[in-house]
Structure formats: C-alpha cells, structure tokens
Amino acid sequence: MKKLENKVIIVTGSSRGIGKEIAIQLAKNGATVIVNYSNSNTEAEQTVRTIIDEGGKAIAIQADVSKKTEVTQLFDKTIAAYGKVDVLINNAGVMISKTINDNTEEDFSKQININVKGVFNTLQEAFSKLSDNGNIINISSSTVKLMFPTYALYSASKAAVEQMTRVFSKEIGRGISVNALAPGATETELFLNGKSQEFIDKLSNMNAFNRLAKPIDIAKVAVFLASDDSKWISGQVIGANGALI
C-alpha cells in the first residue's frame, strides 16, 4: 500500500516550481491532490494532467490564499468533491528581492498578504475542517536564519510563518501534526530568474553538496511529513538545505 493512500491533500500554489513537484510526488504515493493556483490556470491544468497521465488523482481549484472567502471556498469545494481534507500544504508564496530602503509599500503588502495572511487564512479553515489526525506543512525558507541582503521582508514573512507553525501545533489538537519545511536555494524558474551565475555559484558552494536543491529534493521531505510516519514530529521547522545552515 502506498504511504498516502486514501489521503486528500491540498497544496496551495502548486501549479509550478516546488509546489508542482510536491503535488506530483504526493500523487505518486497514492494521495488525491488538490492543485491550488491563483492566476496560473494553464500551468495548474498541466500539473493535473501530468498527475493523471502517471496514474494519479488530482483536480485544480482556483483560490487566492490572501482572500479569506476564496480560501473558505477552496476547502468547501475539496470537501464537496472528496468528503474530507487530510493534509494541508501551504506552499503559495511570493518573493521580492530588494533592500529594505528600496521596497515599496506595495512590495511589503504583497509579501505579507500572500506569505503570512495566506497561511493565517488556511490555518483558520483547517482548525475546523481538517480531518482528525491530519497533517499541516507550512513551507518556510532557510533564509530566515541567514542575513542575505535584499531578503529582509521575505525572510521576515517566513519567520512569521515559522512562529505561527509552532504556536498552532499546540492550539489545533485533534491529533493533527503541524510543521514547517524550510528549503534552501532550489532550482526553480522563479528562483533562478534575474540571478547572476556568480550568485548561483556562491549559493551552491554554501551547502555541503555544492549544488542547488532540485524540487524533488524538497518534495520527498514533504511526502514524509504528509505521511503517518511523521506523526510524532510536530511544532518543528525542518530544514531541507543540504547543511546550508
């Protein structure tokens, strides 16, 4: 039996990048996956098609996680389709790399609204709608522990996610595990865009394996945290960064 057989899993922001690979690997392990997206309808449907073509089960549901009413609909549509939600993976996020002085109010609001308020909204829904003995995985970032110039607001938003993770793990009860997964630098189109080869090489040389992570490196950890094998881990931040920090 596959380790995620009969589990219904929502993965926010899973039309591309790390979220897409997480969705694909969850499905390969037997889960029924909700591919959530905000604007990337074409990519979301491609992710669903990839999963179905490989023998998995998935549907795409649109919802902007920064909007509470849409998050409510995301959960309600999932429950209407499959009767339950067993696992929530909060992957949706944005990153704007600028110095504090160069960030605009719009830059600040966008990152806080999606990265922090988005997680707040889904946790509120999960409080009453996630199945007993379920799992919640909030995607953070290893930049929280680093002092990278231009990452202040992004790192601050992820630090907020990590603290919500710790506290919510003690609030929700019902046998539900709540953890954060903090990747290091990962080879995605979003991450690589606009970065010089020199900077990419510098990041690669900071970990023990002298390379960037690939999305599947992160997805495999997410599969474990979504499974019953991880049940005694809760309130933790799991760094998946190749000994970066």
| Alpha-carbon dihedral sign for residues 79, 59, 158, 245 | positive
Q: Which CATH number covers residue 170? A: 3.40.50.720
Cβ-contact 138, 177 below 8 angstroms: no
Which pLDDT value is given to residue 111?
98
Average pLDDT over residues 105-130: 98
Cβ-contact 3, 67 below 8 angstroms: no
- The H-assigned helical ranges of 54-129 are 68-82, 105-111, 118-129
Structure tokens at 174: 């019902």
Average pLDDT over residues 48-63: 98
Percent of the chain with pLDDT over 90: 95
Structure tokens at 55: 């023998």
Whether 154 sits among the annotated catalytic residues: the reply is yes
* pLDDT over 90 at 166, yes or no: yes
Would 117 be classed as within a structural domain?
Answer: yes
Buried b (16+ CB within 10 A) or exposed e, 35-58: bbbbebeebbebbbebbeeeebeb
Average pLDDT over residues 224-242: 97
Q: Which residue has the tokens 């997480």?
A: 22
Least confident of 50-64, 74-88, 176-190, 192-206: 192-206
**Distance in angstroms (rounded) separating the CA atoms of residues 26 and 8:** 10
Would 49 be classed as within a structural domain?
Answer: yes
Which pLDDT value is given to residue 125?
98
Which pLDDT value is given to residue 199?
85
Domain count, the chain: 1
Which pLDDT value is given to residue 192?
83
Which pLDDT value is given to residue 189?
83
Would 86 be classed as within a structural domain?
Answer: yes
Catalytic residue among 37, 82, 151, 154: 154
Give the model confidence (pLDDT) of 179-191 as tens digits: 999 999 999 987 8
Would 53 be classed as within a structural domain?
Answer: yes
76 band by pLDDT with thresholds 50, 70 and 90:
very high
Which pLDDT value is given to residue 88?
99
Spatial CB neighbours of 204, under 8 Å, sequence gap ≥ 6:
185, 210, 211, 212
Would 182 be classed as within a structural domain?
Answer: yes
Would 138 be classed as within a structural domain?
Answer: yes
**Distance in angstroms (rounded) separating the CA atoms of residues 148 and 134:** 35
Please give the C-alpha separations between residue 218 and each of 145, 149, 187, 188, 225, in angstroms, as whole numbers. Answer: 18, 24, 11, 12, 11
For residue 29, give its domain range.
8-237
Which pLDDT value is given to residue 139?
98
Percent of the chain with pLDDT over 70: 100
Would 244 be classed as within a structural domain?
Answer: no
Backbone angles phi, psi at 173, to 5 degrees: 65, -155
Would 143 be classed as within a structural domain?
Answer: yes
